Structure 1
Amino acid sequence: MGNLYLVNATIVLENSILEQGFIHIKDDKIETVGEMAVCPSWSDDEQVFDCAGMQYVIPGMIDIHVHGAAGFDFMDGSHEAFEGIAKALAKEGTTSFLATTITNPIEHTVDALKSLEKYSAQGTGLDVAEMLGIHLEGPFINKQQKGAQPESAIITPDAKVFREWQELSGNAIKVITFAPELDAQFELLQELTKTGVIPSMGHTDGSYDETMDAISQGVSHATHLFNGMKGMHHRDPGVVGAALLHDDVHVEIIPDGIHFHPDLLKLIVKMKGLENVLAITDGMRAKGMPDGEYDLGGQQVTVRDGTCVLSTSGSLAGSIVTMNQARLNLAKWLDLSIHEQIQITSVNQAKRLGLIGRKGSIEVGKDADIVVIGQDGEVELTICRGAISYERNGGGN
């Protein structure tokens, strides 16, 4: 740690682009942002990265729904796995994330939550992507829309179980994906809204009316829109219809070109506006690995040519898309400006998690989570809380 300078940079600020600028990072924070004409001199023992010839310097991306990468899964429950994922995510320009679980037997889920609490309490390294909390996907879901979630471990929504798990996690659970139509008297939903956890409808088979009722009671998020939920029908708009029509619902999307037709993004943005759309990867342990057979929640997944499916049923099972590729896909399919791209990959996530005061944009005083993008659109350098965690042509993690 210490002083780090990015110089000769094209910096994407919140509402403008600073050409020929510099960023001075001190320890883990952004100390100064300005024009090169006023950049202070630096000494030989300070780190300097020359951004001349690079495309952009942007805020670090935030993935609020990722299960694993680099051969590891958060359900593995080990420090090695957590650190391995955090290092791999930094390579794709992700500087912070929610560790996402999958439906599993209760004892396995408990072990994973305890291990994640211990990892968080110890403090993640400053040179890897930061764990911001936990996204609990399942087990309170509908078997009719289980997707790649193991059916044998699915249980009825239970507020008491959630309270126990939240305590075990050190209050780290920030989002829960559940089927609200199975939540009797909305007891779990009431607990989530009371404690500030984001209630997300996913793996749900609710009707349009049931879903609209749940939204009126506090559901404010939809997990990987279109996937793992009742779709639109002309006599029942379903979960998808309710999510698109209600202004207060934020929606996750997996922009890999596999989970839904890219042109549906145009419909989503027209209905929701960019401010309510959050890019996620739903990445699994095969991300960054060769094609082959991999485990997900105790089930075998076949990964081939960018597609992940359960070997037994052929159901889609997560993805291997990176956040940077998701950004590039969104830019291509929706003709997004660089500011619109970072809104869907950084700003909206920081706001959703209540962290916009320290993440989501390049601003003095905020965490030094920064990504340098090369002319080919790929990640050249990732800085996580002031420390270089990945350098494309110079090693890093």
Structure 2
Amino acid sequence: MSADPSEPARLVLRNARVVTPTGALDRGHVLVAGGTITAVGAGDGPADGTVVDLAGATVLPGFVDMHTHGGGGATYTTGDADEARRAAAFHLAHGTTTTLASLVTAPPELMLAATRAYQPLVADGTLAGLHYEGPYLSAARCGAQNPAYLRDPDLDELAALLDIGGVRMVTVAPERAGALDAIRYLVGRGVVAAVGHTDASYEQTLAAVEAGATAGTHVCNGMRPIHHREPGPIVALLRSPSVTCEFIADGHHLHDAMLSFAASAAGTDRAALVTDAMAAAGMSDGAYELGGQAVTVLDGVARLAEGGSIAGSTLTMDAAVRRAVGAGLPLADVARMAATTPARTIGLTDRGALAAGLRADLVVLDDDLAVRRVMRGGEWQ
């Protein structure tokens, strides 16, 4: 029987280890048509369609990075749309099929200009939206955020930014004046409120969660550390069943044992791998800039030239996946952390897993979990 010309062409990806939401199929197949996954199953699947033999490679859902500032020598933090496209393309080549552009603490006019500049990129799907990491952060835990522009939450400022569109997440330190009102406002506008860069107590953090915060920004980093008499924000976030906890799996922000422990404490349905990458990701050591501050990268670690605070990372999501697996986390759990959990957290229910009916975003990895091919929306990149 000849193919129905009204039906989209079918792609049959076979002879692969396919990591599904329920586990790994050692020899499985994925069917793709019209940019959508139509079936996932054991064995080689049907022979009708364009068959691609993956020769035993591993297939994971396309990675979803809900926290990144740039990469490949380009940054999201300045509002330059051309640079943003370059950064997104760089991370796409490393398996990140969905990304939020994370801005850093900046003057109101720069945040407004950048938000406007990125609307076409949100509209065409280059970016899934924006994340404001700042300016409503703690001066005591600001890390590489520019302290000159830190400020208390302002609902009028937030309204002006959100009215432009495209904002999916905002990080807030709950101890700042007006923070809880800001969290309630964000949630009411359909924006994810995250807790981060905070010196809050355990109780203050739980108040933020009660107000509606559902994410923790790079948990353990930029936060008051755990103390046995004052658990602080880390324990509060790890213990809150409604909160997704971000983790930067580069071996510098978190010791591998801490990564494994924290991911286990939260559970992989509440743990999300993020890069927190800046422009130096994929580039050589040297001098860079982040949020108007000079950054020096040495041996792949980015730090402020003055003060030495870690200034984002040079991580890519495929490297984060390898690190998490190397830390002892099962690959199926890591796939959830790299795709399923972050997609759900930022409200993208059409992607994030290898399952029928979802967008055909996937990453083909070799035996060393290095990227061989990337598919986004059913198209090889």
Q: TM-score range by the shorter chain?
A: over 0.9
- Map Cα deviations across residues 253-273 of structure 1 (whole Å, 9 max, x no partner): 101110122211243134322
Aligned-residue offset at 1:229: 1.4
Determine if the alignment matches structure 1 residue 336 to structure 2 residue 329: yes
State the 1:275 CA deviation. 1.6
User: Which residue is equivalent to 2:69?
Assistant: 67
Choose from 350, 363, 372 the match for 2:364.
372
Could you say what secondary structure the match of 2:104 adopts?
coil
In the alignment, structure 1 residue 152 sits paired with structure 2 residue 152 = no
Deviation digits for residues 272-329 of structure 1, max 9, x if unmatched? Answer: 2222111100000000111111111111111111211001110000001111111111
2-side partners of 1:279 and 1:137: how far apart?
A: 16
What is the CA-CA distance between 1:218 and the residue it aligns to?
2.1
- Check the 8 A contact 1:98/1:135 in 2, yes or no: yes
Structure 1 segment 356-395 matched on structure 2, within 5 A? 356=349, 358-389=350-381
Cα drift, residue 173 of structure 1: 1.2
* Contact 1:22 1:39 survives alignment (8 Å): no
**2:296 aligned with 1:306, yes or no?**
no
Provide structure 2 residue ranges, at least 5 long, that are not aligned to the other structure: 1-7
Cα pair 1:183 1:189 within 8 Å, conserved: no
Structure 2 residue 347 is matched with structure 1 residue 354: yes
Q: Does structure 1 conserve the Cα–Cα contact (< 8 Å) formed by 2:200 and 2:232?
A: yes
- Select the residue among 92, 106, 109 that pairs with 1:107: 109
Following superposition, the deviation at residue 217 of structure 1 comes to 2.2
Separation in 1, partners of 2:290, 2:9: 40
Contact in 1 for aligned 2:17/2:56 (Cα 8 Å): no
Instruction: Say which of 20, 28, 52 aligns to 1:21.
Output: 28
Partners in 2 of 1:299 and 1:305 — Cα distance?
Answer: 19
> Match for 2:89 among 87, 98, 112?
87
What's 2:279 paired with? 285
Name the CA distance, whole Å, in 2 between partners of 1:76 and 1:217: 31
> Is the counterpart of residue 210 in structure 1 residue 204 in structure 2?
yes
Q: How does 1:131-210 map to 2 (within 5 A)?
A: 131-168=127-164, 170=165, 172-184=166-178, 186-210=180-204
CA separation of 1:238/1:80 partners in 2, compared to 1, >3 Å: closer, same or farther?
same
- SS, match of residue 320 in structure 1: coil
> Structure 2 CA distance, aligned partners of 1:114 and 1:313?
33
Q: Alpha-carbon deviations, 1:105-160, whole Å to 9, x = none?
A: 21111111001113222x14xxxxx4211111101111111110111111211111
SS of 1:180's partner is coil
CA contact (8 A) 1:65 1:99 kept: yes
Aligned to 2:122: 120
The Cα shift of 1:37 comes to 5.1
TM-superposed deviation, 1:35: 5.2
TM normalised by structure 2 equals 0.92
Distance in 2, Cα, partners of 1:110 & 1:227: 27
* Contact preservation (8 Å) 2:15, 2:44: no
CA distance in 2, matches of 1:138, 1:90: 25
2:29 and 2:44 in contact (8 A); partners too: no
Give the corresponding residue for 2:60: 58
SS at 1:317 equivalent: coil
Match for residue 78 of structure 2?
76
Compute the displacement of 1:36 (Å): 5.4
1:276 aligns with 2:270: yes
Determine helix, strand or coil for the equivalent of 1:224: coil
Identity within the alignment, %: 33
Partner SS, residue 75 of structure 1: coil
2: CA distance between counterparts of 1:275 and 1:37?
Answer: 29
Deviation at 1:34, TM superposition (A): 4.3
| Offset from partner CA, 1:155-214 (integer Å, 9 cap, x none) | 21111111110112x2x2111111111132722112012122111111111122222222
1:65 maps to a residue whose letter is H
Separation in structure 2 between the aligned mates of residue 193 and residue 204 of structure 1, nearest angstrom: 19
Q: Measure, in 2, the Cα distance between the counterparts of 1:116 and 1:306.
A: 28
Contact 2:173 2:179 in 1 (8 A): no
Write the deviation string for residues 46-104 of structure 1: whole angstroms up to 9, x where unpaired.
Answer: 5x5420142x1111110000010111111232332122112111121111011111111
Structure-1 residue corresponding to 2:223? 229
* Aligned 8 A contact 1:294 1:300 in 2: yes
Cα gap change, 1:84 to 1:193, in 2 (>3 Å): same
3-state SS of 1:366 partner: coil
Instruction: State the one-letter code of the partner of 1:339.
Output: A
Please, what TM-score do these two structures have when normalized by structure 1? Answer: 0.89
